[in-house]
Structure 1
Amino acid sequence: MSAASDGPVVFDPADFGAIPRSVELRRWMRKVRRGKADRTFWQQFEDVYLVIFALAMLGATGGNVVRHLNNKSAACSSASCGWLLDTVPWILVPLLVSWMLRVLLSVGPVSASRATGFWLLATPVDRGALLRPAYRLVIVVAAVMGALAAVIGFALFGAGWSTVGEAALLTVLLLVGTACATVWAQQVPARGRWALRIADLLLVVAAVPALILATQAGKKTSPESLETLSMFAYSEVNSGLSDYQVRLLVTAVVVVVLGGALVFFTARTLARLPKQSVVAGGDLLAGMAGAAITMDVSLLADVVAGRHWRTVGRLKSRRGRGERVQAIIHREFLRVLRWPRRLVVGAGLLVVPYAVAGTGYDVLVPIAAGFAGFAATRPLMDGLRSVCRSTGLVRALGMDLKDLRVAMSVVPGGFVLLWTLAASPALGSAPTTFAVAAGILTGVVRQASARPPSYAGPLVASPMGAIPPGLFSQPIRGFDLLLLCLLPVLFGWPPLWCYVIPGIVLAIMFSIRPKTA
């Protein structure tokens, strides 16, 4: 072997051929897929027709419901309704942007499968061109979600359809810009951390108008204020249809120009996305798809948590304290503190009961508080979820599973207590607060300690095909106990029952041994 051949291998297009373009690769893959397809055009058309028909029926039904509620809300002429309509954007928009930032940053937002990362992204092929279809899908999803959220959010509170149209256009622009910002943040890990801090700050921003709305809704309004409000509403409605059309057209043009510019300039930076982040997002989507197929909500939370800890890598270990139960409680407390952003999100969800209380729908406040508290507390139950799904881990800890469930529920139980005490002014009474707290705690404990989905037994025929019966009960585990504890509150029973029924549910939950797989 000559000395010249001992050096590093240098890529030369003359030896291997020209680098193919992304368009050529997609055309070749499409040709291969079509060559292996075994379904006729009419079979595919039948499936597409069913999906389109189902979406049309759902859209028509939902549209009629929203229009009916809009007409009922628009008939309200009190100052409270005016305050509500003026305050809704300051609550809805920060929550939408915060939610979009968190969801997209947890996924990527631009993602690719592991096969794509191994066979294509590791080659000299233009990475930006390969990732452009996934990027377009993210932008389309952000635009559709923005339009739907604005239409539903503003129409439910009685806004005029002119206001709804403008709000939908501006919300689409805002969420498309948010999606572009997450793509930009995906390129450098430090940017992603700053984006998550901004999402936490937006939760605090949304909490302020919700508290103001809750305090203003109960105040009496003078006839002068009602007259001023009615004059303002009259001038807005009768300001001229042509002016509205011009304003809506100008808004649409501005949204298209600014949104198109943001999408275009962000697409030119796709080549800077690291392969590790793109492939990690693809693995997360694959895991979420598997969790969705099995209807296992806990598995879905585990997939998201696993993605977070893989990006963190490692942390500084701390020495434990105490023995047995005391040591487990201390370790659970440290585990919760290792991911403090979940506590911030849980505190931000206090906006929900106060906002619902501010709307005047007092009967919905316990339900809203229960589901918001459930969403705030469930991420803190990862330790119990891991123990209940691993028989070997239970044996290694040397304790009975019932005792472990009680010990690992102490820290989340303390969080539930603090959360419901903070929400008690919106809930209104001590019995209601106790029922909500008991429902949240028993619900999250039941869902975290539930067994994996069971595939035993005969299959049940459904329009989606044969489904194991064990999958039907999987999504409602936890929520059933929450609604059971809220039952005396929703039916207006005496306060004694608001203590008795949730207390019995709590006693049964922590006295029986959870079933293992």
Structure 2
Amino acid sequence: MTPRWRDVRARLRGMRRAKRPSLMTVAGNVYQTLLYTVIIGGVFVQVLRSVLGDLLVPPGTGTQYWLGAATALLGLALVLRVLPALGPVTVGPAAASWLLAAPIDRGAFLASRYLLVVAGGAVAGAAVGGAALLVGLTADLPGAVGLVVSAAAVGVLLAVLAVWAQVRRGRERVLVRTAGALTVPAVAGIAVVVLLERAGSAPQAPPGGAATEALVGVAVVALVPAVVAAVLGRLRLRGLDRTAVTAAGPLIAALTLSVGFMDGSITTGVSRERRLQAIGTVRWARRLRGSRRRALVLADLRRMARARSALATAVALLVVPYLASVVVPPRVVPIAQLLGATLAAGGLADGLRAVAASRGLRRSLGGTNPDLLALHGVGPAAVAVLWTLLVAPAGGSVLSLVLVPVSALAVVVRFATRPPRTYGGSMVDTGVGLGPLPVGMLVELSRGPLLFVVLAGVQLLAG
């Protein structure tokens, strides 16, 4: 007799319930976590408000409005980019091997996971709407509610589109390209608004009543297709096979391990592998002529040219210093320039990280370690210099602009040459209820961020 999906799910629930800890244990863990989160989070928020309170310079109302609109579009593009990478409907190896191979209703078995995906899309969309509200897209209550509801409905639609792409294998590229197409007008809109604000002709916001009515109308209209799409997406779950529901398993496992072990290199390695698989066969096979050093530099430059997502991110980061020139005092703009240059150069420093992390690779390439690190640092250094030249009109003194690429390269090299994480360091009990703190691990985690903080202070003084 063919088992029903209800019987299978009831059996799984019973097994989980038998292994589940008691309610008091769970409540105690939740209370302790919330207590520490509220205390530490409250202190962090108060410190951040006291530090940034005098630095933030609110732009005009029209500028806030259009920056909020561009932020909403950019956030939705990010959601559309992330959802296909995470599955979105994913099961573990056990369920994929045993349950999906059994003669049960696959769509009914995956329905609970699909419901979580749709709810996650709605929450992500609502979060994007909330971020747009913080930037200043709208102020009155009806418009704010309409914006959040509209963004949540769009989030549901994006989640259903991701499931549709998962059912029809190969359609993920369509969503990725769509996300890129949405990112371009969002970044361009931010750049145009900032340039108009700097020129003294800030854009005007639409009348409050008209904007509120439009947002409320969009919210009402968007709910219907969101619900219909969610229902139709549920009917497509039967088309998911084991390959589709397990493709994102390595990335999700890497994210979980990175959080647990506080080591982002786990996720970085899996992401690099997925990116190389997406590139496929490299068709440009021109030989590298010249000396060994020239060949290594050219090979690293070719690798950087193939990293399209990192190049697009570096281009998108160009608006950060100009945006900072509108919302913060001029003396803080060099810090934004340093942050953008560090992220742009670091995203294109995979060759430097690979050489620094692999002793066997360094031996096969030959030469000394400083020589190899210097050769693979040429590309990131050129990116940092070019990026700094493009954002120089945003502000900063000559000294700060000279220090930006040097400081950015120093931070990138510091991050790339970090030793592997060790978990056997000393522990110190603070006596404040937080338990013993791993001092050695905290020192390892500060390698890179601490240098950035110091160099940011230097930029603040030089700017």
TM-score band, normalised by the shorter chain?
Answer: 0.7 to 0.9
State the match for 2:97 in structure 1.
Answer: 118
Contact 1:113/1:283 (CA < 8 Å) preserved in 2? no
Give SS of 2:364's match: helix
Pairing 1:27–2:10 present: yes
Cα separation, partners in 2 of 1:157 and 1:464, compared to 1, 3 Å: same
State the distance in 1 between where 2:227 and 2:33 align.
29
Q: Structure 1 pair 23/52, CA: closer, same or farther in 2 (3 Å)? A: farther
| 1:28 CA displacement | 0.7
Match of 2:252 in 1: 285
TM-score w.r.t. length of structure 2: 0.85
Matched, 1:481 2:461: no
1:207 to 183, 187, 191: 187
Query: Counterpart amino acid of 1:40?
Result: S
User: Percent identity, aligned pairs only?
Assistant: 28
Matching of residue 378 in structure 1 with residue 346 in structure 2: yes
Report the Cα offset of residue 423 of structure 1. 1.5
Superposed counterparts of 1:83-482, under 5 Å: 83-157=62-136, 159-162=138-141, 163-220=143-200, 236=208, 253-316=220-283, 318=285, 319-359=287-327, 361-461=329-429, 468-482=438-452
Letter in 2 for 1:81: G
Q: CA deviation at 1:312?
A: 4.5
Query: Is the CA contact (8 Å cut-off) linking 1:294 and 1:471 kept in structure 2?
Result: no
In the alignment, structure 1 residue 48 sits paired with structure 2 residue 16? no
Give the Cα–Cα distance (whole angstroms) in 2 for the partners of residues 68 and 474 of structure 1: 29
Query: 1: distance between equivalents of 2:332 and 2:156?
Result: 32
Q: CA deviation at 1:286?
A: 0.5
Equivalent position amino acid for 2:334 in 1: P
AA aligned to 2:406 is: A
Alpha-carbon displacement from aligned partner over 1:148-175 (angstroms, at most 9, x marks no partner): 3332442344841424333222222222
> How far 1:407 sits from its partner (Å)?
0.9
Cα distance in structure 1, aligned partners of 2:153 and 2:46: 26
What is the alpha-carbon distance in structure 2 between the residues aligned to residue 374 and residue 303 of structure 1? 22
Q: Report if aligned partners of 1:176, 1:259 keep a CA contact under 8 Å in 2.
A: yes
- Structure 1 pair 25/317, CA: closer, same or farther in 2 (3 Å)? farther
Cα gap change, 1:146 to 1:158, in 2 (>3 Å): closer
Query: Contact (CA 8 Å) 1:114, 1:283: kept in 2 or not?
Result: no
Give the distance between the partners of 1:439 and 1:307, measured in 2 at CA.
31
Preserved contact between residue 318 and residue 387 of structure 2 (Cα < 8 Å): yes
CA-CA distance at 1:137 after TM superposition: 2.6
Matched residue of 1:264: which SS?
A: helix
C-alpha contact (below 8 Å) 1:84/1:358 kept by paired residues: no
CA distance 1:484–1:285, shift in 2 (3 Å):
same
Deviations 1:435-489 (A, max 9, x none): 3222322212211221111223323458676554333244443233333223233
Q: Which amino acid aligns with 1:296?
A: D
Question: Alpha carbons of 1:90 and 1:474: their partners in 2 closer, same or farther (altered >3 Å)?
Answer: farther
Distance 1:315 1:129 in 2: 42
TM-score (norm 1): 0.77
Provide the secondary structure at the position in 1 that maps to 2:115: helix
Query: For 1:257 and 1:67, how far apart are their aligned partners in 2?
Result: 40
Tell me by how many angstroms 1:88 deviates: 1.3
Which whole-Å deviations, capped at 9, do the CAs of 1:123-144 have from their partners, x for residues lacking one?
Answer: 3333333333333333333322
Label 1:414 to 1:66 Cα distance change in 2 as closer, same or farther (>3 A).
closer
Amino acid at match of 1:48: V
* Residue ranges of structure 2 left out of the alignment (5+ in a row): none
> CA–CA distance in 2 between the matches of 1:218 and 1:474?
41
Q: Measure, in 2, the Cα distance between the counterparts of 1:327 and 1:250.
A: 60
Is the radius of gyration larger for structure 1 or structure 2? Answer: 1
Any unmatched runs of 5+ in structure 1?
1-16, 496-517
Aligned to 2:348, what secondary structure does the other structure show? helix
Aligned pair in 2 of structure 1 residues 188, 323: CA closer, same or farther (>3 Å)? farther
Shift of 1:339: 2.8
1:194 deviates by: 2.2
Q: 1:320 to 1:220 in 2, by over 3 A?
A: closer
**1:51 shift after superposition:** 4.4
Structure 1 distance, partners of 2:109, 2:331, is 51
Q: Secondary structure at the match of 1:452?
A: coil
Per the TM alignment, residue 91 of structure 1 is displaced from its structure 2 partner at its CA by 1.9
Amino acid of the structure 1 residue aligned with 2:187: A
**Equivalent residue of 1:472, what SS?**
helix
Contact 1:424–1:430 (CA under 8 A) maintained in structure 2: no
2:247 is paired with a residue whose SS is helix
- Matched position secondary structure for 2:248: helix
